[in-house]
A and B are shown apart, each in its own frame.
Chain A
């Protein structure tokens, strides 16, 4: 499995990372090197092996349903790129 230019463009769009034409060509080569490297995983027979998503085999701890947080909007919005009236502003969203 290797990526062509179109594939690189699709992945970059999904990841919301702009790539210039020059970057795109270089990225294609590097990604394909890495994909070539990880391709050796395909050869391993993993029939019947349960995927391992976590490093330790424990179950989710549950939190009691209490309100523990207070309003820290001022602190959080002090580091925001653009706010107004308590709202974060972004370019117009068109639905």
Chain B
């Protein structure tokens, strides 16, 4: 059951082979057993979870034609990244600042999954305020990579990735500002998708960098991700950047053949920065695609090397402002001892935020400050346009772009801690899609050094999630990387 696909779980529930309560209990028990080692969950609440599961079972009993019970996700458990506000649950965003914050409302994404009848298993660990690529910045301690607990799971959705990899949850939500879904998915051997900016509402999702943040699904397979994305996407009047588009069934093209698919390979993604083990695995995956009938074409994204520095201007700038609301006045942490108002603010924020968050707030404050705005912020926004234009150009020659998700497999704890810039470079292949607002996904495509998973990244045209999912699913029909699980965790 723990390795089952969402479709299989759905069928088992529909055929009464298992109840939602039994399924939730199965995963809760695994969490209880393994979370002390992995630290993937910040909060679980057995009573709340089982109450939801009982409710799902009752709904199924009273009528199969009930809209919710008819949902293919009804009764299936999932876990939320702790960046999504969840009414009545602690929502911490991985920070001391919100360590005791009980949300008075649900995020749009949480509402959508609840409406689909899914059962919440708990809240997943993450880098503090989603700022990190290794999950080491969480106030609640680092998440361990289930494939090797001495290594990072990636970040910032590291708890989501570790939970699914260890089969503590069949599916999870994540958010991706610069690679935070795709990179941990790659490092933990999962499938994860960041939709086109505006496809999923940001309402109730705690903001890191508003113009880049986008929520998406994380699961074992592309098929699972398509089901989850169909449930979570959709227009929301409460988010001005949510796009008014007709509802889509993201599973609709999964089974299309890949004959004639043109895959663009940006030469900048296959340069010197990539480790050799990753390169070999990615090249093998591309061979598989050629066997499936796809062709590859060399493309260029000439400004992609500027994406990391541009991102580290834009994201901290937005974050510095987004995180100003955490001031100890209306909710969240307030320093226990302080003098005047200014002292209360600076002590609260000094104590409530961790080192990386403070670093980014300071950088963001600096690049927006008087005399530096044009040179840094405005220049970065202009370069952002150049980066987006590169993609428009490249997509004239191909349907999807492929390359590595991360330049290396999961690294050891502490390996990049001392050098923020080295840490930032681990998102070198993922950041440009956020800047451009494009959809991107990562799927497992083999194992590199030390038998650690490697991810293949697929980038699509704006709103071309179905095509990406189709490409991923067809690959997963002929490979089994996505169904491998770490040993010793059964």
Do A and B touch directly, given a CB cutoff of 8 Å in the complex? yes
* Chain A residues, Cβ within 8 Å of B104: 72, 75-76, 78-79
Contact of A58 with B by CB under 8 A: yes
A34 touches B328 (CB 8 A): no
- Interface class of chain B by DSSP: helix
Provide the residues of chain B in CB contact with A58, threshold 8 Å.
198, 243
Contact A15 to B361, CB < 8 A, known contacts A30-B420, A41-B310, A72-B104 = yes
Q: How large is the interface on A (under 10, 10 to 19, 20 to 34, 35 or more residues)?
A: 35 or more
Chain A nearest CB from B215 CB (Å) reads: 14
Bound complex: CA of A52 vs CA of B197, how far in Å?
14
Contact A81 B331 (CB under 8 A): yes
Convert A67-94 into 0s and 1s, putting 1 for each residue whose CB lies closer than 8 angstroms to a CB of B: 0000010011011111000001011110
- A61 to B328, alpha carbons, bound, how many Å? 32
Contact of B341 among A44, A88, A92 (CB under 8 A): A92
CA distance A46 to B306 in the complex (A): 13
Set of chain A residues within 8 Å of B474, measured between Cβ atoms: none
Q: In the bound complex, do residue A55 and residue B382 qualify as a contact, i.e. CB atoms below 8 Å apart?
A: no
Q: Which of B37-45, B271-279, B343-351 contacts the other chain?
A: B343-351
Query: Which residue of B241, B361, B434 is within 8 Å of A17 (Cβ)?
Result: B361
Chain A minimum-CB-distance residue to B312: A38
Q: Do B331 and A31 have beta carbons less than 8 Å apart?
A: no
Asked if B237 is at the interface of the complex by the 8 Å CB criterion, the answer is yes
Whole-angstrom CA separation of A93 from B344 in the bound complex = 12
Other-chain contact of B385, A51, A90, A91 (Cβ < 8 Å): A51
Closest Cβ of chain B: how far from A5's Cβ, in Å? 13
- Distance from A49 Cβ to chain B, minimum over Cβ atoms (Å): 4
In the complex, which residues 309-365 of chain B have their Cβ closer than 8 Å to any Cβ of chain A?
309-310, 312-313, 320, 327-332, 334, 338-347, 349-350, 353, 358-359, 361-363, 365
State how many residues of chain B have any CB contact under 8 Å with chain A.
Answer: 73
- Is the CB of B378 closer than 8 A to any CB of chain A? yes
Give CA–CA (A44, B381) in the complex, Å.
Answer: 12
Q: Which of A30, A37, A46, A82 contacts B379 (CB 8 A)?
A: A46
Asked if residues A56 and B363 are in contact (CB atoms below 8 Å), the reply is no
The distance from the CB of A45 to the nearest CB of chain B, in whole angstroms, is 10
Q: Per a CB cutoff under 8 Å, which of B320, B375, B382, B437 touches A51?
A: B382
Within the assembled complex, what's the spacing in Å between the Cα atoms of A72 and B327? 21
Inter-chain contacts of B334 with A (CB < 8 A): 81-82
> Cβ of A11 and Cβ of B362 under 8 Å apart?
yes
Distance (Å) between the CB of B382 and the closest chain A CB?
A: 4
CB distance from B108 to the nearest CB of A (A): 15
A30 to chain B, nearest CB (A): 6
Which residues of B are found within 8 Å of A93, using beta-carbon distances? 341
Given contacts A37-B421, A58-B243, A81-B329, is CB(A17)–CB(B362) below 8 Å? Answer: yes
A55 near B436 (CB under 8 angstroms)?
yes
Chain A interfacial positions (CB closer than 8 Å to B): 1, 3, 7-8, 11-19, 27, 30-31, 33-35, 37-42, 44, 46, 49-56, 58, 60-61, 63, 72, 75-76, 78-82, 88, 90-93
Sample (28) of A-B pairs whose CB atoms are under 8 Å apart = A7-B366, A11-B369, A12-B362, A15-B361, A15-B362, A16-B327, A18-B347, A30-B359, A31-B366, A37-B309, A37-B421, A38-B313, A41-B376, A41-B383, A46-B383, A50-B385, A51-B381, A51-B382, A51-B385, A52-B385, A53-B211, A58-B198, A61-B237, A61-B244, A63-B237, A79-B102, A81-B328, A88-B330
Interface residues of B (CB under 8 A from A): 100-102, 104, 196-198, 211-212, 237, 240-241, 243-244, 303, 306, 308-310, 312-313, 320, 327-332, 334, 338-347, 349-350, 353, 358-359, 361-363, 365-367, 369, 372, 375-376, 378-386, 388, 419-421, 424, 434-437, 462
